[in-house]
Amino acid sequence: MEKLIETTNLTYFYRSGTKDEVKALDKVNMNVFQGEILAITGQNGSGKSTLARHFNALLAPGHGDILVKGLSTGNKDNIPEIRKVIGMVFQNPDNQLVSSIVEEDIAFGPENLGLPQAEIIERVDWALHTLNLEDLRNEPPHNLSEGQKQQVAIAGVLAMKPECIVLDEPTAHLDPRGRREVLESAIRLNREEGITIVLLTHFMNEVVHCDRMIVMENGSVKMEGSPGVIFRKSEEIKTAGLDFPVASQIAEGLRREGFNIEPGIIKTEELLESLCQLKSSI
């Protein structure tokens, strides 16, 4: 698979050179591959957001390198091109919504790209349609639920037609329904529009729907692999201070009670299937 983002010994200090210096990233070597959904997880302060802010050159490396489609983010000349490739969505949608009406908000990015009016209209329609927001087109954003606001923020980024969308804990402030809908949107943008997705999250039930996951610890990559493989490494998961997905916790509990549930279950659908098989064998 082609590398969209590649970091080599990426190291970053906040307040570099002062007595309050904080090493937030420590020799990070990781890739984001074109077309995948990558989850980045880890405890508070493990360096997830600092890493993500390097992906679209909001931060430049202290040491080491990061390449986006082969372009070094440390070179200022590359920044406009890099920001076309990588779109960012943050935790709090209120900070990203700038206009008084949803459709104007979504048009904001394309307008800043200096696109012709016809193309702007086309992109806004497409983004509204892709995220099922057509009914909210003329609403003021402050009338929307937090989940809907986050969908509008995603639509605004989508209208810039990035190859990759990086979402930094986009569901942290949402209720369960809002969380589910934002996750579903991210998966749909990947599967139907071919957009590479990087999802920073604390929720293991979101991680299990990703193709690959990275666990950060103290500014370094601690584990990397498919969720199915990583969540079998129980001791390492516990040491990293992570939870297990709800489905694997239930499966484990049932196994302990003597039920014949297969190992390696991480998704609710897999648990349901296993329970159905169990029922039919009783």
Ligand X SMILES: Nc1ncnc2c1ncn2[C@@H]1O[C@H](COP(=O)(O)OP(=O)(O)OP(=O)(O)O)[C@@H](O)[C@H]1O
Interhelix angle 246-256/268-281, rounded to 10 degrees, is 30
- Find the shortest distance in angstroms from Cβ 43 to Mg ion: 10
CA dihedral 236, 190, 32, 74 (to 10 degrees): -130
Q: Does 48 bind ligand X (CB under 6 A)?
A: yes
Q: How far apart are CA 221 and CA 100, in angstroms?
A: 41
Nearer to Mg ion, 47 or 245 (CB): 47
Q: Does 73 bind Mg ion (CB under 5 A)?
A: no
Task: Count how many residues are written for the chain.
Answer: 282
Q: Name the strands in the sheet holding 71-72, side by side, starting at the edge strand that comes first in the sequence.
A: 22-33, 3-14, 63-68, 71-72
24 binds, among Mg ion, ligand X, none (CB under 5 to 8 A by kind): ligand X
Compose the 219-258 pattern: x for residues touching ligand X by CB under 6 A, - for all others.
----------------------------------------
Q: Does 33 bind ligand X (CB under 6 A)?
A: no
- Find the shortest distance in angstroms from Cβ 90 to ligand X: 11
272 binds, among ligand X, Mg ion, none (CB under 5 to 8 A by kind): none
Q: Is 250 helix (H, G, I), strand (E, B) or coil?
A: helix
Residues between 30 and 69 with contacts to Mg ion, criterion CB under 5 A:
48-49
* Phi/psi at 64 (5° precision): 80, -170
List residues binding ligand X (CB under 6 A).
14-15, 22, 24, 42, 44-50
